[in-house]
Amino acid sequence: MSVVEIVDHPLIQHKISLLRDRRTGTKEFRDMVSEVSTLLCYEATRDLPLEEVEVETPIALARTKVLAGRKLALVPILRAGLGMVDGMLNLIPAAKVGHIGLYRNEETLEPVEYYCKLPKDIAEREVIVLDPMLATGSSAADAITMIKQRGAKHIKFIGLIAAPEGMKVLHAAHPDVDIYVAALDEKLNEKGYIVPGLGDAGDRIFGTK
């Protein structure tokens, strides 16, 4: 059974409120996206396997646990997903980072990949796909299809804010993928923006508006 979790820790709710505020400037917005990503990473890595080791403390020998070395890969969806990478790497610094960029051909409606560079051993890695806004869900679903086509079997998705429509589309397309978001909003508007959302995440992270 896959996980679909709205991670509503008070610290996350507080920071999401600041992200939503139109008065929040680029630097603060970028820093906050990183912080929320770190907190979501903490939750999404709860099931990482551990192994027992012995370490010598200054007092005695301790039987204790360390990560069992499952290899991780982060794959931000261009461009807004980039804003989440540093916050994730705060907790999992050894993760490799791939990138995927896609758009939809307006005539055929087929997803077209304009950039895809993934770690060579992606098939052996636990992959975490990043996109702050799970709006229609089609980019996330298409990106995950492409990552699966390259052999990845264990995939999670982390976003900041989801629309119910996006959640439904992503979960239906990839029922095996665990989904972690910080908030589930009301709906999408006619322009594809999440309501109330936070506006265009890419523009707000990169200061392009």
Q: 54-113: which residues touch ligand URA (CB under 6 A)? A: 80
Active-site pick, 22, 46, 63, 108: 108
CB of 11 to ligand URA, least distance (A): 22
Residue 60 neighbours by CB distance under 10 Å? 6
Residue 103 exposure: Cα atoms within 13 Å on the Cβ side: 5
- End-to-end Cα separation, the chain, in angstroms: 41
203 is catalytic: yes
**What x/- string results for residues 173 through 192 when contact with ligand URA is judged by CB under 6 A?**
-------------------x
Assess contact for 74 and 85: CB atoms under 8 A: yes
Q: Residue 200 catalytic? A: yes
Decide if residue 133 touches ligand URA (CB under 6 A).
yes
DSSP 111-140: EEEEEEE--TTGGGSEEEEE-SEESSSHHH
Contact region with ligand URA (CB under 6 A), list: 52-60, 110-118, 149-157, 200-208: 200-208
Q: Which is nearer to ligand URA, 193 or 206 (CB)?
A: 193
CB 140 within 8 A of CB 77: yes
Catalytic residues: 104, 108, 200, 203
